[in-house]
Amino acid sequence: MIKYMKLRLDKYSQGTSGRHETFFPRYGWLTKGYVKCAESPHVFNDNDAIEQLGVGKNMVRSIRFWCLLLGLLEEPSKDSDLGKGALSPGALGIRLIGQFLPVENRVNTETGWDPYLEDISSLWLLHWQIFRQPFNAVSWPLAFNFCSLQSFSQQELGASIIDIAGDDARLAAISPRSYEKDAACIIHMYTQSAKIGNEIRCPFNALGLIKSTPENSHFCFDVGKKNTLPPLIFLAACFSYAESLESSTQTLSLNQIVYGADSPGIAFKMTETECGRLLEQAVNTFGDVRFVEFAGTRQLHFDGKPLMLYWACLEQYYKEQR
């Protein structure tokens, strides 16, 4: 059993605990962080970063962390001339928020799919990025994949993550206090409830991935139907998941999609029935993909490279929203 758990954790061993400075993403942070950094790649290290971003020092670091984690910004390539400490627009940030215009030194938000993240589907898409390598907030996949508690307090979720991480030497070397802070952030980030005692709301509360239980200060993952998750966004996550697998597969079983490590079913906390329902809807509107039953197993078949299909699927969804 120990060897099996070790194998399951191998993919996370290079991951890090969240460097969010105990802050969850707040309204306006992600767009502001992306735009300011596109215009000034060293903004997070500038002496006047507090003035440029309009937040405190720890919040500056937190905005940087979230923009990187959610794929809006990225570390520049080694041959870049931007210099140490600079960040540049990521592929998702360019598409979602807008292209940077060097001549005018500004971001053209008119080119973005959803520059101010007003469509809740964009929050689902950003949440999905947390479950992609390099796992720079490793507590999230550890909790979503492996926490078996039916309900939990903040302290109990932290203890569960610490216990899970203990089966991998590198993860076990991370400070328990870091995992405890991550547990608090996870609960505050996804719980749509007044019981968490925090007046400042997080945009990701709307996803409803965690809910309060009747027991005081206890919560649980809300597994089931996700009414705000569009079929095409779910299908795009399936393509992204396929791209992350080592084999160059063009087939995913429904079982993989629902129960595989860091799969859409795990990340979005969905049942097999609900995953199947969304796939049935999605394949009716997106070409080159089929959801069929073969030898008693329901499977998603697709033609082409998963990463290309991922972007095409997202492009179609946001085009339909205009």
pLDDT tens readout for residues 144-192: 999 999 999 999 999 999 999 999 999 999 999 999 999 999 999 999 8
Q: Which two tokens stand for residue 11?
A: 């993919």
**How confident is the model over 200-252, as pLDDT tens digits?**
789 999 999 999 999 999 999 999 999 999 999 999 999 999 999 977 789 99
The CATH code for residues 231-321 is 1.10.10
Domain boundaries, the chain: 29-118, 137-221, 231-321
Decide: helix, strand or coil at residue 145: helix
Measured in residues, the chain has a length of: 322
Torsions phi, psi for 289 (to 5 deg): -145, 145
CA dihedral 18, 21, 25, 28 (to 10 degrees): -140
Instruction: Give this prediction's pTM.
Output: 0.95
